[in-house]
Amino acid sequence: MKGSREKAASELFAALYPRLAGWCRRLVDDDETAHEIASEAFTRLWSRWTSVAEPRGFLYVTAANLVRDHWRKLERERRAVRRATTEAVVGPPNEQADPSVRLLVQSLPERLRVPILLHYYADMPIREVSVLTGRKEGTVKADLHAARELLRAHLRRSLDHTL
């Protein structure tokens, strides 16, 4: 009996996992997260194997709920990042930092300011900044580069004006 149960589950996994993971991938735009969600849906199906009448429907409903939870988590993280960056921007000035650099960072567009604050001011690695902002690592790197170029140009202009 147990062997036939495992065989049926294995066949179902082989038949449905690739399509379910692909569907999740389109919803979350991240391979790793998509595979985690699809795997978790199968794990939950396996734990209820004998009581689920329609496994395919169960898998997709479970995956949809997990995707929704993922989106909610991302939104909570984004709100926390916005709060943290707002507090960092309006917080007490860092005595060691040049006030003109701090003002320049504050003047950056939010898309560039948030990665700068998280990476350079909060010492977070790019991977963590990527997770917190919901952006791909390459996008975070590009934003950091663009922000540094803007800061460099502003600093150059301000130095030219003081000489």
- Per-residue pLDDT tens, the chain, 163 aa: give them: 567 878 888 899 999 999 999 999 988 889 999 999 999 999 999 999 889 888 888 899 899 889 888 888 888 888 877 777 776 566 544 444 455 676 777 778 888 888 887 777 767 789 988 887 888 999 999 999 999 998 888 888 777 665 5
Distance CA 137, CA 143 (A): 10
* Predicted local distance difference test score (pLDDT) of residue 96: 46
The pLDDT assigned to 78 comes to: 81
Q: How far apart are CA 56 and CA 45, in angstroms?
A: 9
Q: Residue 102 has what pLDDT?
A: 66
pLDDT of residue 115: 84
**Whole-number pLDDT of residue 6:** 83
Query: Which pairs count as long-range contacts for 26-30, CB under 8 Å and 24+ apart, including other chains?
Result: 27/67, 28/67, 28/70, 28/71
